[in-house]
Structure 1
Amino acid sequence: MSASTVRRWLAEDALKPWQHRSWIFITDPGFRPKAARVLDLYVRTWQGEPLGEDEYVISADEKTSIQARCRCHPTLAPGQARAMLVNHTYSRGGALAYLAAYDVHRAKVFGRTEERTGIDPFMNLVTQVMSQEPYASAKRVYWIVDNGSSHRGQKAADRLTAAFPNTVMVHTPVHASWLNQVEIYFSVVQRKVISPNDFTNLAEARDRLRAFEDRYNTTAQPFQWKFTTSDLDDLLARLDRHTADHHEESSAAVAA
């Protein structure tokens, strides 16, 4: 039996055990209001009122464990009809964390590298942003963050406001980092800066990240964010229907 025959049979078969879809249940009881606050800020609204010209929205997070992988043989640049060739074998040159704050409406990125993530590295990022204009003298600067340990809970919000009274920390719901626009920027960094990972050392990784930031800030436009509170309500309604159907199927199976 040829390999092509097996491949054709598998392609035609309705049962494909190697394919899967994953999901996660919403466990945050405040999912809707927390998500709505973030989405409102993206359209420059807070608590039903439009933001002023001296109010800004920052989306921030950390990208952990960016490694310096020194390839044992030099990488060959792409050529005519040839992809880039990257040797699989490498030696490890350490790892760093990349922290970034993205101004949602100005499409401006502020980044820094640290040895690790944590409260102090995150506050270093905040200080980097809030010590310069227009944020230092702004009426209000909203910081959208997820629930990572560096900025989790009310203590983190109080710490931020104590350091910079014109700031407000806004948490995404639990397991909803996809609502944080800086994650889109990190996906760009992953594709255009880090992949393929071929850094001689961590200094080279830092320099490339910094160079990309400079270039990005000269050409970037705000992300065309299209997910609204109406879309959020539609999503939650679909999830409720799906959950109800799942419970009915489970009850029927138990009764049978």
Structure 2
Amino acid sequence: MLEKEIVDSISIETIRVILNEADITYQHTKTWKESNDPEISEKKRIEELYENPPKDGRVLCVDEFGPLSIQLHAGKGWFQEKHPDRLAATYRWTQGVRHLFCALDLKTDKLYGHNKASKKHQDFLAFLKMLRRRFPRSERLYIILDNFSPHKHKKIREWAEKNNVELVFTPSNASWLNRIECPFGPLRKFVLDGSHYANHKELADAIQAYLRWRNKDKKHEAILREQKKIKVA
């Protein structure tokens, strides 16, 4: 093996030295998934709904955020004290998890969310019924969602047909087509980062407070942009 310059193992530091001597820098690479869905052409109708919003209704992007657990969440902040509080590296997971059902209304850019203890088809159906009550029944709802099995449950499909709702599924390995993914970043930053909630009710209240603020005051986007410009000396 040594004659062929092949070794059983090698350290990262040795690799770094070898690359440095060859004037080669180590680079991270990014990857993406190509959808192999046989119905991808048909399902890409989502892009048409984005570019040409339907006149007979509105487009709602739906997905689940979580699971949410009661634990310490690290974050960034400015501290006046020389020794800011430290976060414990361990915690006891005693209160189970919750799942946040979210919907983004593309017509108004409003974000709606409901916390549930599970994400079974019954929970998803209850969330859809809540969305349906928000808008006139004459207005057709185009629900964009991924291929999570509860989304395709027979009862979900039957309810959609009876209530002027069309379920529009993303192609396999192409959940990025769902625009609901975009608001999840700010939601995590404003609600979870640097937090330590006592229980799920406190966390749920914080989520609803954020949603009310976001839907009322669009300055949150400018705040995020400014935060990215801040650099620690």
Q: Distance in 2 between matches of 1:195 and 1:142?
A: 32
- Matches of residues 130-145 of structure 1 in structure 2 within 5 Å? 130-132=132-134, 135-145=135-145
Does residue 122 (structure 1) correspond to residue 124 (structure 2)? The answer is yes
Classify 1:15/1:199 alpha carbon distance in 2 versus 1 (closer, same or farther; 3 Å).
Answer: same
Aligned to 1:212: 210
Amino acid at match of 1:192: F
What's the % identity of the aligned pairs? 23
Give the superposition deviation at 1:32. 2.6
SS in 1 for 2:71: strand
Classify 1:21/1:139 alpha carbon distance in 2 versus 1 (closer, same or farther; 3 Å).
Answer: closer
- Matches of residues 32-47 of structure 1 in structure 2 within 5 Å? 32-35=41-44, 37-45=45-53
Kept in 2: contact 1:144–1:172 (CA 8 A):
yes
My pick for the range that moved more, 136-145 or 75-84, is 75-84
Does residue 79 (structure 1) correspond to residue 79 (structure 2)? The answer is yes
Give the superposition deviation at 1:26. 2.3
Q: Distance in 2 between matches of 1:123 and 1:136?
A: 18
Kept in 1: contact 2:62–2:145 (CA 8 A):
yes
TM (normalized to structure 1)?
0.68
SS in 2 for 1:170: strand
SS in 1 for 2:137: coil
Give the superposition deviation at 1:192. 1.9
TM (normalized to structure 2)?
0.74
- Matches of residues 154-233 of structure 1 in structure 2 within 5 Å? 156-162=156-162, 164=163, 166-196=164-194, 198-220=196-218
Amino acid at match of 1:111: G
Q: Distance in 1 between matches of 2:14 and 2:197?
A: 41
Classify 1:210/1:188 alpha carbon distance in 2 versus 1 (closer, same or farther; 3 Å).
Answer: same
Q: Distance in 2 between matches of 1:84 and 1:136?
A: 50
Amino acid at match of 2:109: A
Aligned to 2:112: 110
User: Alpha carbon RMSD of aligned pairs, Å?
Assistant: 3.2
Query: For 1:115-144, what per-residue CA distance to the aligned partner results, in whole angstroms no more than 9, with x for missing partners?
Result: 010111111111111112xx2334311111
Give the superposition deviation at 1:59. 0.5
Q: Distance in 2 between matches of 1:138 and 1:115?
A: 32
Kept in 2: contact 1:193–1:209 (CA 8 A):
yes
Q: Distance in 1 between matches of 2:42 and 2:169?
A: 11
Query: For 1:62-99, what per-residue CA distance to the aligned partner results, in whole angstroms no more than 9, with x for missing partners?
Result: 1131111158xxx9974149777433222223210000
SS in 2 for 1:169: strand
Q: Distance in 1 between matches of 2:18 and 2:198?
A: 43
Kept in 2: contact 1:58–1:103 (CA 8 A):
yes
Segments of 5+ residues of structure 1 without an aligned counterpart are 46-50, 224-256
Segments of 5+ residues of structure 2 without an aligned counterpart are 1-12, 222-233
Kept in 2: contact 1:68–1:197 (CA 8 A):
no
